[in-house]
């Protein structure tokens, strides 16, 4: 794979932009999820350990298993034929990126807002966020979508790119396993408070550097789009740490600064209103226009992150794979 990763990344990224997530073929994340469910059921039912220890074992088995299986598939495919190995590598990378899928979901909300169909916009944003949607206004709907885009710029785009650039396709798939476990078990409820502890902590650790490295990329992308790149820095410095997540506040504050709006604030989960801090250095509310710019900013940031990463590898600063 040496010397080929840069081309594989470019090919996979272009495929993602053209095709998005496939609907007609099985996605590896479903396999990761199936593995996680089976491991959870076995450990909870048949192994006499605490929930926290069971969660730690689940993380080790699922993430470790994903990496081992990915490496084995790559090794086997390259042994059969180099072309097959390259195809498998590109496929793994392609499945790890979610740029177009994220943009597609956001565009569905945007299209509904532009048609004045608030009910449809609420339904579409409900596929992206976990908050209550029944009483959302147009502003709330646009803001929720922008926040989802901002956070997912890391989870679905720059973080898998980061680990792919460092560790190749198996690294990207390992990150997807970490992210999948957090989305499945990282809840603060009775069932997963202890069991999901390891999944949530590992996801926080895995996203620590990507979340922060994405900030200057967003600022540069904003500058290219003639948005306020300087406000990105001010917004992140002043408000990123106000977010309840140790990582999500960085891309969200960066988007708020670039777009000249405020994010965060009150919202409702399960009928319970939560008063969350505002992010950003402006007091302007989100609109459909803001959402359109946010989609462009996300795609631009993804392209720029890839370009910078590939350039660094080609310059010889990263030579592990």
Where is pLDDT greater, at 9 or 321? Answer: 9
Average pLDDT over residues 57-75: 96
pLDDT of 148: 95
The string over 76-111, giving b where at least 16 C-beta atoms fall within 10 Å of a residue's C-beta and e elsewhere, is ebbeeeeeebbebbbbbbbbbbbbbbbbebbbbbbe
Average of per-residue pLDDT values in the chain: 92
Given pLDDT bands bounded at 50, 70 and 90, which one contains residue 133? Answer: confident
CA distances 56 to 44, 65, 120, 172, 207, Å, are 12, 14, 40, 21, 18
Q: Helix or strand or coil: residue 157? A: helix
Given pLDDT bands bounded at 50, 70 and 90, which one contains residue 1? Answer: very low
Average pLDDT over residues 157-161: 97
Q: At what angle do helices 159-185 and 51-80 cross, to 10 degrees?
A: 140
pLDDT of 320: 52
pLDDT of 2: 43
Given pLDDT bands bounded at 50, 70 and 90, which one contains residue 131? Answer: confident
pLDDT of 317: 62
- According to DSSP, residue 284 is labeled P
Q: Are 105 and 124 in contact (CB under 8 A)?
A: yes
């Amino acid at each position: 794979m040496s010397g080929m990763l840069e081309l594989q990344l470019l090919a996979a990224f272009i495929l993602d932009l053209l095709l998005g997530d496939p609907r007609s073929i099985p996605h590896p994340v479903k396999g990761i999820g199936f593995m996680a469910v089976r491991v959870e059921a076995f450990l909870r039912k048949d192994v006499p350990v605490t929930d926290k220890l069971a969660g730690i074992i689940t993380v080790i088995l699922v993430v470790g298993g994903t990496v081992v299986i990915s490496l084995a598939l790559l090794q086997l495919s390259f042994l059969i034929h180099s072309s097959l190995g390259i195809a498998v590598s590109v496929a793994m990378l392609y499945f790890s990126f979610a740029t177009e899928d994220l943009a597609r979901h956001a565009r569905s909300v945007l299209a509904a807002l532009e048609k004045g169909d608030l009910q449809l916009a609420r339904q579409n944003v409900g596929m992206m966020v976990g908050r209550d949607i029944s009483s959302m206004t147009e502003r709330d709907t646009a803001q929720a979508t922008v926040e989802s885009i901002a956070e997912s710029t890391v989870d679905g785009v720059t973080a898998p790119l980061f680990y792919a650039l460092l560790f190749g396709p198996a690294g990207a798939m390992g990150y997807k396993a970490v992210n999948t476990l957090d989305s499945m078990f990282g809840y603060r409820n009775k069932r997963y408070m202890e069991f999901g502890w390891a999944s949530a902590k590992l996801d926080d650790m895995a996203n620590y550097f990507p979340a922060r490295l994405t900030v200057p990329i967003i600022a540069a992308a904003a500058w290219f789009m003639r948005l306020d790149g300087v406000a990105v820095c001010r917004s992140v410095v002043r408000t990123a740490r106000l977010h309840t997540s140790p990582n999500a506040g960085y891309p969200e504050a960066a988007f708020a600064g670039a777009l000249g709006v405020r994010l965060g604030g009150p919202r409702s989960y399960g009928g319970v209103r939560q008063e969350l801090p505002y992010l950003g250095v402006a007091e302007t509310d989100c609109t459909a226009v803001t959402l359109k710019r946010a989609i462009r900013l996300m795609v631009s940031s993804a392209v720029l992150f890839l370009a910078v990463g590939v350039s660094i590898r080609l310059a010889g600063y990263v030579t592990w794979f």
